[in-house]
Structure 1
Amino acid sequence: MIDLWKGSANTWDCDEMGHMNVRIYLEKAFEGLGTLAAHCHMSHVYQAGSPSTLIPLEQHIRFMREVHPGRPLHMRGCVLDVDETQVTVYQELIHGDGTPAAAFRTKLVHASSDALKPFPWSDRTKKALTELIGEPPASTAPRGIDFSVNPLPDEAVTLSHADAQGVQMIGQGMVSPQHCDVFGRMKPAWFIGRVSDSVPNLLYDWRQKVAGAIEGSRMGAAVLENRIIFRSWPKAGDLFQVRTSLARAEEKIHSLVHWMLDPVTGKPWMTSEAVAVTFDQETRKTIATPPALMEELAEIAPGDLSI
């Protein structure tokens, strides 16, 4: 493990639930990846004019302990595996007392910054990456997402399929220039950020009912895990829609599949699966879902989408 980042959460990094928003976790993770890249002789890959960059293909995030404003945080990480053009990096965001806040497993490809065409590492970068191969702690391993499910091919993820399934559109908008990187592509953190902004359109009223099952509780929500498949890279001015269906509902957790699509072409920008809970903002404890509300969730999030 090497140190990758150190800082804290600002008040404006936190949302209405009183904890750091999921988007900010990704922002910090990608800052940490910049440090790792520099450690491996690739300090240029996130700079304007660079001939090459690192493009995320897939990312798994496990959120383990809430981050509150002003608390000290640091990040460390290692390499899980590396081949001729791809690397999988492990990162853990850690509280000041040593307990993990979140863990990230990110598969990236070394590619040209313009055409995104993969090409091999230099010999010294490959050597440096290999020297960073390590073993992450078992306690931060993926827990609630089935990795035996392979991502769909891009051609199976379409707006027409979502329409045919009766899947709700829970969010839409346009990519802003300030949400793009130095290459003009939307930053990875904003994929999950836009989904986070959209989910209340689907679940706000339902979660209020769940919280109402316990007298005096104040509704909150949190994501426990997220698996993201990055498929294409929108630029400023591109449009998006978020379509969402229920994957499963249990007493303590529910899982949703999100498709972020281009409404102009019907093709995918991103797909993801998120495992989430409803909790009491006062006690910070998970609220069990009554059986009738589990059935209602299936009604308000119809369709059979897969990641």
Structure 2
Amino acid sequence: MNDRTFVTGRGSVNMAECDQWGHMNVQFYLARATDAQAHLAARIGLAPSRLRKEALSLRPLADRTLFKRELRGGDIHMIRSGIRAVHPEGTIDIASRMTNLVTGVESAAFDTRLALVGPDDATRPLPDDVRSAALDLSGDLPEMPAPPPMAAVQPLGAPPLDRMLLTYRGSIEPWDCDTDGVAPPRAHIARFNDAITHLFRAMALDRRALLAEGTGSAALDYDIAYHRPLRAGTAVEVRSGVLAVGEKVYHIIHHVVDSKEGFIYTSILVAALFFDLQRRKSVPIPASIRTAAERLIAHA
């Protein structure tokens, strides 16, 4: 095992963290990854006590998450993390891998770019001691190869929000946020998780009918961009659309949007599929869902 990586998380899956398809919901994968990043940050000198004392925060700018094997209620897991790169502007690229400790199979891969920010949300340079420690640990992580580029399905230019489906409307509450009052990745994903059920409805996906047929749905790949901090008390909505529909894999896009001002907080590009709930293997997209989804592509 590479001496640049460290155990940054251990835990198990609680049934309350599982969704209707029987596996751990994606928001809790991101929650585990965030916890792991905090342990790695402490190793390079950015412990929570120091961040509080110096009024600093570590914020994600981008997340790439690949879901490789599902975790179900009662499964135990471990996370190892390492620093892939330290950039001149002060951002840090962290890689984490979650493994099912019973099977030894990698369950998820996380690659995150973090920035150190002050109370004004402006990026701060890494303190000299932190930068030195991070550089000492950074480098090639052969057991954690960088993920390949996601399929180029997203159109260039500003998204046509007015033509996308309104799939969520709500607010960010204090209990959604970290101690600095900013929502962590889990809270963003929770909104997307609510939104997807409404997009599924537009795709003519009948959850009860699918369950009766023994079919479920799961995400394969998330590519997330955090454009600005999302704070408690903010009224938000999610605009969603379908980007592409293949034989088994389909791509969708969600944007968390400020309900009053209209600017985008977060964008997430998702690759997903349908699978047999008994065999836990992928299956072709049902014909009726494919037809409805293809009609929605124009809205993205």
Same fold per TM (> 0.5)? Answer: yes
Counterpart CA distance in 1 for 2:155 and 2:112 is 16
The aligned runs of 1:233-248 (5 Å cut-off) are 233-248=229-244
8 Å CA contact 1:229–1:270 kept in 2: the answer is: yes
**1:228 corresponds to which of 201, 224, 232:** 224
- Give the counterpart letter for 2:110 in structure 1: F
Counterpart CA distance in 1 for 2:129 and 2:221 is 35
Identity of counterpart residues, as a percentage?
24
Following superposition, the deviation at residue 139 of structure 1 comes to 7.6
**2:184 corresponds to which of 173, 184, 187:** 187
1:201 equivalent in structure 2: 198
2:121 pairs with 1:116: yes
Counterpart CA distance in 1 for 2:50 and 2:224 is 21
Counterpart CA distance in 1 for 2:186 and 2:231 is 14
**2:106 corresponds to which of 100, 105, 110:** 100
2:285 pairs with 1:285: no
Counterpart CA distance in 1 for 2:53 and 2:149 is 40
The aligned runs of 1:267-286 (5 Å cut-off) are 267-286=263-282
8 Å CA contact 2:97–2:144 kept in 1: the answer is: no
SS in 2 for 1:207: coil
Counterpart CA distance in 2 for 1:254 and 1:131 is 41
2:33 equivalent in structure 1: 29
Following superposition, the deviation at residue 45 of structure 1 comes to 6.8
SS in 2 for 1:203: helix
Counterpart CA distance in 1 for 2:257 and 2:267 is 9
Counterpart CA distance in 2 for 1:5 and 1:207 is 36
**1:259 corresponds to which of 252, 255, 258:** 255
Following superposition, the deviation at residue 151 of structure 1 comes to 8.2
2:82 equivalent in structure 1: 78
Instruction: From the superposition, tell whether residues 11 and 46 of structure 1 become closer, same or farther in structure 2 (CA, over 3 Å).
Output: farther
Counterpart CA distance in 2 for 1:18 and 1:226 is 20
Instruction: From the superposition, tell whether residues 65 and 46 of structure 1 become closer, same or farther in structure 2 (CA, over 3 Å).
Output: farther
Relative to structure 2, which stretch is displaced further, 197-206 or 64-73?
197-206
SS in 1 for 2:23: coil
Following superposition, the deviation at residue 240 of structure 1 comes to 1.0
TM normalised by structure 1 equals 0.87
Show structure 2 runs of 5+ residues with no match: none
8 Å CA contact 1:207–1:278 kept in 2: the answer is: no
TM normalised by structure 2 equals 0.89
1:162 equivalent in structure 2: 161
SS in 2 for 1:221: strand
How large is the RMSD of aligned CA atoms in angstroms? 2.6
8 Å CA contact 1:79–1:88 kept in 2: the answer is: yes
